[in-house]
């Protein structure tokens, strides 16, 4: 293998790599230039939970997991590293804190320097969020009117107030995707996606607003001219540095100089990998259904939707505005819900016997009982769930919201576990419908939902979401659209396509369409949706 990247081989095919760092794992996918994934690699990553709402990770462990995943994907595809045209990264919107020379700094009371990441789902900064929102600064218009504890400025303020020595010692505060591209290239440029969506960068004006940082207690970052959070901001897909450094190339098993793209948040990579299918992006709502869920709507003009993040300019589809909603707990909410049931252990054993995941087993049992996919809603008769275990991300931007359930009985068998599963999925679907309705009322309607994410791969889940939300759900040809989205960025950085839009059009395609139910089933979902909104409002009132 050569140790310097110079040009693509003239006598062979080229390939692209997408790297996705989610909450629980790092994955890499190797694709050809038709969008077909040849191979993938995956490594789990640790999640450290402290008292209260603290959740932390290690950037050192994550980088090692990324490297192993990339090496595995390349080896399984049997592709020479010289033929990799480019690599793109996406990651959760978690905060990485590094000291001098990139040394990890401890972000919590464990004092373990390897735990240098405040994970996106960490809610330690709720008090800071409340104080920031009470000020009502103008920049909050571009995050749906209210900042979220999942965003970075409240977490930075928490660090400054609770761990000032760490805040002061920090050389750089990175969004995780930007950390990965820095680690790969040595370039500290930030992605428009990360800093616009999670840090209050005003991409449409190409600037930070110093008055916001002074108002909330982070004026030092403005006084430093934002040197620690990003002075150079570039669009996703932009080639960074001189490509892979010698050190990073050795870690990844690739060639030094291989082009590396500015990255993006994981859900947005799922959007890039999906919303370009079968027509203009503004027709399609990207829905990433994983541990959490994320909804992404693209518009040509800014649309302000209370409780929905954005509008963000050029944060996903270049040149378009993005509105981002979703649910702080989606797949994780279903897991939490099922863990409460007395039959959960029995079902887990049965699932293992049948070599299925627990949700896949329950989906099969529900389909057997109902005879049709649309008919499974009847399995949840009388049982209603508002699955807001980790607050309401949209459209209420309420981190204090919590889950509510009505209709539980004394049943302890598998049938009642199936009912709880279906009721929980309906709750996810009604939350999605609520976001779609709020956006449509504000001037951002969508015609279809394009789904991605590990929790949304079952036919039953897709059909139930279509029925509950009242919109067609499209599944893409790519089995891993988030990985494809990251790879699309790498293809642009490597010059395989001139821009992200053309790469999206060339590499994305629809595989299946799930049409929403009509007649009695649609009427039943309408009644259940009304019950969902009333139960949600009651829970908020009594809280």
Tell which of 213, 235, 264 closes a domain.
264
Residues forming a β-bridge with 449: 285, 473
What is residue 12's predicted lDDT score, i.e. its pLDDT? 61
DSSP state, residue 239: B
Tokens of 134: 């009470």
What CATH number is associated with residue 410? 3.30.420.40
Domain carrying residue 517? 278-445+461-477+509-543
Whether 492 is in a domain gets the answer: no
Residue 461 has φ and ψ, to the nearest 5°, of -60, -45
Tell which of 264, 294, 309 closes a domain.
264
Q: Residue holding tokens 């990264």?
A: 89
What is residue 254's predicted lDDT score, i.e. its pLDDT? 98
What is residue 10's predicted lDDT score, i.e. its pLDDT? 45
- Let me know whether 120 and 254 are in one domain: yes
Q: Whole-angstrom Cα distance, residue 342 to residue 140?
A: 44
The per-residue pLDDT string of the chain (543 residues; one tens digit each, 9 = 90 and over) reads 334 444 444 446 999 999 999 999 999 999 999 999 999 999 999 999 977 789 999 999 999 999 999 999 999 999 999 999 999 999 999 999 999 999 999 999 999 999 999 999 999 999 999 999 999 999 999 998 899 999 999 999 999 999 999 999 999 999 999 999 999 999 999 999 999 999 999 999 999 999 999 999 999 999 999 999 999 999 999 999 999 999 999 999 999 999 999 999 998 998 999 888 877 889 999 998 988 899 999 999 999 998 899 999 999 998 999 999 999 899 999 999 999 999 999 999 999 999 999 999 999 999 999 988 989 999 999 999 999 999 999 999 898 999 999 999 999 999 999 999 999 999 999 999 999 999 999 999 999 999 988 889 899 999 999 999 999 999 988 888 899 999 999 999 999 999 999 999 899 888 899 999 999 999 999 999 999 999 999 999 998
DSSP string over 406-430 = E---S--SHHHHHHHHHHHHHHHHH
| Helix extents (H) in 96-206 | 126-135, 152-162, 164-169, 176-185, 192-198
Whether 273 is in a domain gets the answer: no
Whether 188 is in a domain gets the answer: yes
- Let me know whether 33 and 140 are in one domain: yes
Residues near 409 by Cβ (< 8 Å), separated by ≥ 6?
A: 416
Q: Which of 444, 421, 432, 443 lies closest to 393 in space, CA to CA? A: 432
Residue 41 has φ and ψ, to the nearest 5°, of -140, 155
Total residue count of the chain as it appears in this document = 543
- Let me know whether 470 and 321 are in one domain: yes
Whether 8 is in a domain gets the answer: no
- Let me know whether 534 and 390 are in one domain: yes
- Let me know whether 210 and 319 are in one domain: no
- Let me know whether 233 and 334 are in one domain: no
What is residue 164's predicted lDDT score, i.e. its pLDDT? 98
- Let me know whether 94 and 148 are in one domain: yes
What is residue 454's predicted lDDT score, i.e. its pLDDT? 82
Half-sphere exposure of 378 (CA within 13 A, CB side): 11
- Let me know whether 514 and 377 are in one domain: yes
- Let me know whether 27 and 153 are in one domain: yes
Strands (E), 46-118: 48-49, 55-57, 84-91, 95-98, 117-118
The H or E element containing residue 360 is: helix 358-370
The answer to whether 2 and 255 have CB atoms below 8 angstroms apart is yes
Query: For the chain, how many structural domains are there in total?
Result: 2
Whether 95 is in a domain gets the answer: yes
Whether 229 is in a domain gets the answer: yes
- Let me know whether 199 and 229 are in one domain: yes
Tokens of 78: 């049997």
Whether 299 is in a domain gets the answer: yes
- Let me know whether 287 and 171 are in one domain: no
Q: Whole-angstrom Cα distance, residue 70 to residue 61?
A: 14
CA 288 to chain centre: 7
The answer to whether 312 and 197 have CB atoms below 8 angstroms apart is yes
What is residue 165's predicted lDDT score, i.e. its pLDDT? 98
Residues near 34 by Cβ (< 8 Å), separated by ≥ 6?
A: 506, 507
Q: Whole-angstrom Cα distance, residue 279 to residue 282?
A: 8
Residue 385 has φ and ψ, to the nearest 5°, of -130, 130
**Is the preceding peptide bond at 249 cis, omega within 30 degrees of 0?**
no
Whether 109 is in a domain gets the answer: yes
- Let me know whether 397 and 514 are in one domain: yes
Tokens of 155: 């977490």
Prediction pTM value? 0.87
Tell which of 199, 230, 264 closes a domain.
264
Q: Residue holding tokens 């869920």?
A: 293
The answer to whether 228 and 173 have CB atoms below 8 angstroms apart is yes
């Amino acid at each position: 293998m050569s140790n310097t990247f110079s040009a693509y081989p003239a006598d062979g095919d080229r390939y692209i790599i997408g790297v996705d760092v989610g909450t629980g794992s790092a994955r890499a996918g190797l694709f050809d230039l038709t969008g077909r994934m040849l191979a993938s690699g995956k490594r789990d990553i640790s999640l450290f939970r402290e008292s209260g709402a603290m959740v932390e990770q290690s950037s050192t462990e994550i980088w090692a997991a990324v490297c192993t995943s990339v090496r595995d994907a390349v080896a399984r595809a049997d592709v020479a590293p010289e033929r990799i045209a480019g690599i793109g990264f996406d990651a959760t919107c978690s905060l990485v804190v590094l000291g001098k020379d990139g040394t990890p700094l401890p972000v919590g009371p464990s004092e373990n320097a390897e735990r240098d990441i405040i994970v996106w789902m960490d809610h330690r900064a709720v008090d800071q969020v409340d104080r920031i929102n009470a000020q009502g600064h103008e920049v909050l218009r571009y995050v749906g009117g209210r900042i979220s504890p999942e965003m970075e400025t409240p977490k930075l303020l928490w660090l400054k107030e609770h761990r000032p020595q760490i805040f002061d010692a920090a050389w750089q505060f990175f969004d995780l995707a930007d950390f990965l591209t820095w680690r790969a290239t040595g370039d500290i440029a930030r992605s428009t996606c990360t800093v616009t969506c999670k840090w209050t960068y005003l991409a449409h004006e190409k600037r930070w607003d110093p008055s916001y940082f002074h108002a909330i207690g982070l004026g030092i970052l403005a006084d430093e001219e934002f040197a620690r959070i990003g002075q150079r901001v570039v669009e996703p897909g932009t080639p960074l540095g001189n490509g892979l450094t010698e050190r990073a190339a050795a870690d990844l098993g690739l060639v030094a100089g291989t082009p590396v793209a500015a990255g993006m948040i994981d859900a947005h990579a799922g959007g890039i990998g999906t919303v370009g299918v079968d027509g203009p992006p503004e027709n399609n709502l990207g829905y990433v259904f994983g541990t959490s869920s994320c909804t992404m709507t693209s518009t040509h003009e800014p649309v302000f939707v209370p409780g929905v993040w954005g509008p963000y300019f050029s944060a996903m589809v270049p040149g378009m505005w993005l509105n981002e909603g979703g649910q702080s707990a989606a797949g994780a909410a279903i897991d939490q819900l099922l863990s409460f049931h007395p039959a959960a252990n029995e079902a887990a054993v049965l699932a293992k016997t049948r070599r299925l995941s627990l949700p896949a087993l329950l989906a099969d049992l529900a389909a057997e009982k109902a005879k049709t996919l649309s008919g499974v809603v009847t399995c949840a008769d009388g049982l209603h769930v508002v699955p807001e275990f980790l607050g309401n991300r949209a459209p209420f931007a309420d981190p204090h919201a919590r889950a509510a359930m009505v209709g539980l009985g004394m049943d302890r068998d598998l049938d009642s576990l199936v009912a709880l599963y279906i009721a929980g999925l309906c709750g996810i679907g009604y939350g999605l419908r609520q976001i779609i309705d709020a956006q449509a009322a504000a001037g951002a309607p969508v015609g279809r939902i394009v789904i991605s994410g590990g929790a949304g791969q079952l036919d039953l889940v897709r059909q139930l979401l279509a029925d509950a939300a009242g919109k067609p759900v499209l599944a893409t040809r790519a089995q891993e659209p988030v990985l494809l989205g990251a790879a699309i960025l790498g293809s642009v950085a490597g010059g395989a396509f001139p821009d992200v839009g053309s790469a999206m059009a060339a590499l994305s395609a629809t595989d299946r369409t799930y049409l929403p139910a009509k007649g009695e089933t649609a009427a039943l979902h309408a009644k259940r949706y009304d019950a969902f909104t009333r139960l949600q409002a009651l829970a908020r009132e009594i809280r």
